[in-house]
Amino acid sequence: TQLLEQSPQFLSIQEGENLTVYCNSSSVFSSLQWYRQEPGEGPVLLVTVVTGGEVKKLKRLTFQFGDARKDSSLHITAAQPGDTGLYLCAGEEAAGNKLTFGGGTRVLVKP
């Protein structure tokens, strides 16, 4: 089983500050996905990164896939209370659609 470690586990910041969430593994994944989950709901896909070194931007969110395809980061610029939630990374194995999820980072953005 390929494991994904996320850090930090919990992050509390003020509105307007920046934050970075990390996702690390000792194994290589064919792709890596980032999800955001709100209380009482299932995770919702934010982005998929496939190529080593790839950087994708989604408004104030920037996602990066490590060159060796073992790690990834999510950076949020000028965080807003609406960014509050549980952020999960998930790695896809080469065969099939099977995903392995990290433990998640709980982000709280205070107004």
Partner 1 sequence: DAGVIQSPRHEVTEMGQEVTLRCKPISGHDYLFWYRQTMMRGLELLIYFNNNVPIDDSGMPEDRFSAKMPNASFSTLKIQPSEPRDSAVYFCASSRTNEKLFFGSGTQLSVL
Binding site for partner 1 (CB under 8 A): 33, 40-45, 48, 88, 96-104
Residue placing its CB nearer to partner 1 in the complex, 96 or 111: 96
Q: What minimum distance in Å lies between the beta carbon of 1 and partner 1?
A: 9
Q: What minimum distance in Å lies between the beta carbon of 5 and partner 1?
A: 11
Residue placing its CB nearer to partner 1 in the complex, 13 or 99: 99
Rg (CA), the chain: 13
56: β partners: 63
Residue placing its CB nearer to partner 1 in the complex, 18 or 26: 26
Structure tokens at 104: 């998640």
Whose tokens are 């003020």? That residue is: 14
User: What sections of the chain are H helices per DSSP?
Assistant: none
β 10-14/105-110 pair status = parallel
Q: What minimum distance in Å lies between the beta carbon of 45 and partner 1?
A: 5
